Amino acid sequence: MEVPVGGLRLPVAGNKNVNVRGESMNCYDCPDIIAPAVAVCRRCGAAVCREHAHVSHVQVQDVIGTGRATHDQPLRHITCLTCRTAEAS
């Protein structure tokens, strides 16, 4: 669903899975189907769909002087299935 314009491939309006160069980002972990990616694994950088994205929340600590400060709010931590399995092993 792309319109050729002077050698460039422009996305059709409304297709949010296509960037300005006409490239789409699909899930790395979907084996047989083309699923639009909604996130990027923070460990390996693989793009993943909503089904394969594992979302967790972790506390953040910063080194302050000679000690540590734990922030009140946890941050969002998105990983792919492979990295989630590795983190839990």
Using CB under 5 A, list all residues that contact Zn ion.
27, 29-30, 35, 41, 43-44, 46, 49, 52, 80, 83
Task: Give CA separation, 27 vs 10, 48, 59, 67, 75, in Å.
Answer: 21, 4, 27, 41, 23
Query: Least Å distance between CB 77 and Zn ion?
Result: 11
Between 57 and 71, whose beta carbon lies closer to Zn ion? 57
Whichever of 18 and 35 has its CB closer to Zn ion, that residue is 35
Closest CB 20 distance from Zn ion, rounded Å: 24
Rounded-to-integer distance, Cα 17 and Cα 25, Å: 6
Q: Shortest gap between Cβ of 36 and Zn ion (angstroms)?
A: 9
Cα(66)–Cα(86) distance, integer angstroms? 31
Cα–Cα dist 89/86, whole Å: 5
18 vs 80, beta carbon nearer Zn ion: 80
